[in-house]
């Protein structure tokens, strides 16, 4: 049985319905499940497979005037993993607790796959 609902063997897997994410290496879970929050109604996190595009340690969201520590971007529209509230939905990003956000930032490489499933 596959350890996550994703079909990738390396990268990050996000399952929106359970508010969980994992980091995978060689089909094995190396981190997670990590609790997440994701996009609220009208700002849904997109489903699909995306490459890690860039990382910014001390990011600031200009549209929402809020800190985004440990940002790991995976869409061209600005969706990223970052440290954030695990109780309030986001504007599309994947919120992680501080430890998990730092782990994802330090362990996901540019070009690696992030898969988002419902």
For residues 68 and 55, the answer to whether their CB atoms sit within 8 Å is no
**Which residue is catalytic, options 6, 13, 38, 93?**
93
Q: How far apart are CA 61 and CA 68, in angstroms?
A: 7
Q: Is 93 a catalytic residue?
A: yes
Among candidate residues 105, 11, 113, 109, the one with its CA nearest the CA of residue 58 = 105
**Which residue is catalytic, options 6, 38, 82, 95?**
82
Residue indicated by tokens 């994947």: 94
Q: Is 76 a catalytic residue?
A: no
Cα–Cα distances in Å, from 86 out to 19, 37, 52, 69, 95? 9, 5, 22, 14, 6
- Residues tagged active-site: 82, 93
């Amino acid at each position: 049985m596959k350890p996550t609902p994703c079909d990738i063997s390396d990268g990050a897997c996000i399952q929106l319905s359970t508010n969980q994410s994992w980091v995978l290496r060689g089909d094995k879970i190396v981190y997670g499940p990590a609790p997440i929050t994701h996009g609220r109604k009208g700002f849904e996190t997109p489903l699909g497979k995306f490459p890690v595009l860039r990382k910014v340690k001390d990011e600031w969201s200009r549209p929402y005037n809020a800190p985004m520590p440990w940002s790991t971007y995976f869409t061209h529209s600005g969706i990223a993993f970052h440290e954030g509230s695990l109780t309030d939905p986001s504007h599309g990003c994947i919120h992680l607790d501080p430890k998990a956000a730092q782990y994802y930032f330090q362990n996901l490489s540019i070009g690696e796959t992030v898969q988002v499933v419902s």
